[in-house]
Amino acid sequence: MTSTSAAERRLATVSRSKNVPWFQPKIGSSLTPAGRRLLETYSGIDPSDIENHLYKIRDQAWEIFPWPCVGGFWFMKLGLSLHPSYASVLSRLRSPSSSTQFLDLGTCLGQDLRKLLFDGAPPQSLYGLDIFPEYERMGHELFRDADTFQNRFIAANILDEAVDSKLAKTDGTWDVISINMFLHIFDWDTQVRTCRRILKLLSKKPGSMVIGMQTGSIEAKEHVLEPPYVGEGERKTIYRQSKETFTEMWKIVERGEGVELKVNVVYDEQTDRDRREKEEETGRKKRFFSGPEERRLYFTIEILQHGGVGSQG
């Protein structure tokens, strides 16, 4: 049995119960003006039908896997477009002379790809990867573009390191790789392993980059998950990165892969302020792990040169 099939079997055993803190009955502010505009203009959905459409899609996507980003409609926040480097990545993709190839890791329903497409990125440059092949169909149902946005989805496990895998055949071909709200689901060792795999996928040309965001903390620490975040009797840990540990992790990966990287990582203080105000207003605390020190991290990792750093293990 391969490691990929074992992972898929493990994921299949996770409860789809909606009686969990991250299942949001009402979409509320998760349907942003930008998300509504995308569905109205790009997808051609009548404004009066949008919320019912989203409830239907969310509930079907929940049965595929009960991610918090699905239960809380975070996919409609179009997170990549909030990244400080979004405008520069979009400009790079839209350049008439560009041959940039963009890969969205953990693409889920492909929402960030549709936002890029809506903002003028060429479809032939955009690809998404996810472990769940069903997300390709669900993305088409969400955005009603099965006839116009085809063959942009790669069903694969980023941690499948088989040299003959579908993903391995694309090693070194991606100019920009996006990883949004993805790395933080792993422990430290798995985050390091994932980042090494990402660097193998990335083109080694100077200027190739990884951009993204994840939940972090001003105080880095390991968290042991408890029910309902894991099943009864299951043990799983995650590692919440600070700016400093996140930078150090990429420096560890840099030394192992023989590249020189420029790592830029910042805390999203505005989102934290907005969240604290909402918590004070509603009395509801939505920080599941880190408490008041939790912060979102925005990061950009750029290749400066290849072969300039020793490749010690």
Q: Decide if 217 contacts 293 (C-beta within 8 A).
A: yes
> Is the pLDDT higher at 287 or at 28?
28
* Single-letter residue type at 103: L
Report, as an integer, the average pLDDT of 267-293: 62
pLDDT at 288 over 60: no
The predicted-structure confidence for 180-216, as pLDDT tens digits, reads as follows: 999 999 999 999 999 999 999 999 999 999 999 999 9
- Mean of pLDDT over the chain: 90
Q: For residue 118, give both structure tokens.
A: 């809506």
Res 118: pLDDT: 98
pLDDT band of 143, cuts 50, 70, 90: very high
> Is the pLDDT higher at 203 or at 308?
203
pLDDT at 52 over 90: yes
pLDDT at 269 over 90: no
